[in-house]
Amino acid sequence: MKIKSVVLFLLLGACASSEVRQNLTSACRVDTDCAIVNPSCCSCNAGGSQQAVLKELAQTNAQHCAAFPVFCAQYISNDPTCKATGAICQNGQCQLQY
């Protein structure tokens, strides 16, 4: 689990440009390859945001959030990603579906 957490940090963290991170974490073939995560571990009902990633990374993100709990703000986020209703594979990349 520690290795997956490190990989997730490297992919979603500050070690690569935003475009590189997006390509590595969201390359897909079909809609079922994709899932929504809260990258900060805080839901939209707790000041967070959403991101579409590969389903495998979504499981790793959930494990990371469970292992390293964070304190989340107690307000409903106005981040535009919070309006997404699902994740789809579009042009080979996981995207939020609105």
54 alpha-carbon distance from chain centroid: 8
Cα angle, residue 3 at apex, residues 58 and 31 outer, rounded to 5°:
25
pTM of the prediction?
0.73
The candidate with the shortest Cα–Cα distance to 89, out of 36, 13, 44, 50, is 36
4 alpha-carbon distance from chain centroid: 14
* pLDDT score at 25: 79
Task: Tell me the mean pLDDT per 10 residues along the chain, length 98.
Answer: 45 45 78 97 97 95 94 96 98 97
* pLDDT score at 22: 53
How many angstroms separate the first and last alpha carbons of the chain?
A: 32
